[in-house]
Amino acid sequence: MNNTFDIGIIGAGIIGLTIGAELIKRYPALSIVILEKENQAGIHASGRNSGVMHCGIYYAKDSLKAKACAAGRQHMIDFAKQSGISVKEQGKVIVATDETERLTLQKLYDNALSNQIPVQQLDEKELQEKEPYAAKGTGAIFCPTTAVIDPKQVLIKLQSQLEKQGVTFLFNCAVIKLNKYNRLLTTQGYIDCAYFFNCAGAHADTVAKLFGLAEQYQLLPFKGLYWKLKPSAQHKVNANIYPVPDLNMPFLGVHFTRTIDSQVYIGPTAIPVFGRENYRRFQGIHFRESLSISYQLFQLYWQNTHHFRNVVHREFKKYHAFHFMQSARKLVPTLCKEDMEPSPKTGIRAQLVNTKNHQLELDFILEQTENSLHILNAISPAFTSAFALAKMIVDKAALALP
């Protein structure tokens, strides 16, 4: 097996695949290998994504998220149409349910205008026309460019295209360590590359530390649980209904999403858990890692920055169906227990925390060495942003590429 390449990409999620596509477009002569510890691409966050392509309304104008989201959404839609992948530009409403939320909703509206994102304020009649069962609340806005797609189809198509263009995929290939000669030891032996891109998702901080970076960062896992509407209740949601989020926190809150196959999911939660792949009970929990995660969660809880303690209390309650439904009923008041059924859909949001100031990082974080670049906080809207973010990342690495 050839173990020497120009470029090594660690992680075959959406960020790793789009970086591979951008590199091939610019530098077709480069030899590229994508290393993935699982047996196929997109097993974790990318493949478990809800498929919502966000418009970018939540993100500050100077943030990487704002710069990448809207452009990435359009690129993803173009890619889907060229590849025969179904996409629906169905929009979403964001509903305020009290006076405090109304003020935050106005901030979102102003931010959308500042970022040149299409947005429309809705009166009660207009909201009812779009979402007849949505809470009347104190205000609502409509984001017409929000779309939905099947993320797995995107991953499959990207992998197929990259393989046809000569990119090598090594599955079941986990990173172990980096030696002083820039040789990456994996479960399939040493891999030599002139330049590495770290797109390892929930394990990106661990990989970055092998390169001497991310010393002040740690990724913490938050579990996203979903319910879904039964077929008899799916008429209560036409497209996407979202709450007004806490802009100091990276979680959007429980919302309703009509997916590309017309299923209606309710969620996700953001429950702190003790393993980066802790999807079920004790699955994915490792003792040493759990101790480290527990310590950082305790620090966040103790410091209580941006009322993190309240978030923990609120989210843990959502393990119980009653409290989950109460959260959902803020948006759709007629929702009842008989409308809902459990869903096997579960995701883990790997959220970056700064261990020095005990704050959650809200933006994408990029760090680099002379021969590597690391994407440390590839959280929502990373899937939406992927193509545009890949361009930014390759631009940033360009001077050091072979």
Q: What is the pLDDT of residue 133?
A: 98
Q: What is the pLDDT of residue 228?
A: 97
Shared-domain flag, residues 299 and 398: no
* Residue 1 in this model has a pLDDT that exceeds 80: no
Residue 152 near residue 383 (C-beta atoms within 8 A): no
Shared-domain flag, residues 22 and 109: no
Which of 31, 13, 35 minimizes the C-alpha distance to 23?
31
pTM of the model: 0.96
Distance of CA 252 to CAs 62, 242, 249, Å?
20, 8, 8
Distance of CA 285 to CAs 113, 221, 268, 269, 396, Å?
44, 11, 21, 19, 35
Which of 380, 363, 391, 378 minimizes the C-alpha distance to 54?
380
Query: CA angle, corner 224, sides to 93 and 310, nearest 5?
Result: 85
Note the helical H segments in 115-243: 124-130, 151-164, 204-210
Q: What is the pLDDT of residue 306?
A: 85
Shared-domain flag, residues 188 and 316: no
* Residue 248 in this model has a pLDDT that exceeds 90: no
Q: Which domain holds residue 273?
A: 218-354
Q: What is the pLDDT of residue 377?
A: 96
Direct distance between the N- and C-terminal alpha carbons of the chain, in angstroms, rounded to an integer = 22
Residue range 229-247: mean pLDDT, rounded: 96
Q: Which residue has the higher pLDDT, 133 or 182?
A: 133
**pLDDT (tens digit, 9 = 90+) per residue, 161-195?**
999 999 999 999 999 999 877 899 999 999 999 99
The 8-class DSSP code of residue 244 comes to: P
Q: CA-to-CA distance for 352 and 360, rounded, in angstroms?
A: 6
Bridge partners for 193 per DSSP: 5
Both tokens assigned to 36: 């993935």
Share of the chain above pLDDT 90, in %: 92
Both tokens assigned to 126: 């207009």
Shared-domain flag, residues 205 and 292: no
Shared-domain flag, residues 164 and 207: yes
- Where among 315, 339, 354 does a domain terminate? 354
**pLDDT (tens digit, 9 = 90+) per residue, 64-76?**
999 999 999 999 9
CATH number of the domain bearing residue 372: 3.50.50.60
Q: How many domains does the chain have?
A: 3
Share of the chain above pLDDT 70, in %: 100
* Residue 276 in this model has a pLDDT that exceeds 90: yes
Distance of CA 27 to CAs 7, 9, 23, 390, Å?
11, 15, 6, 14
* Residue 383 in this model has a pLDDT that exceeds 70: yes
**pLDDT (tens digit, 9 = 90+) per residue, 53-105?**
999 999 999 999 999 999 999 999 999 999 999 999 999 999 999 999 999 99
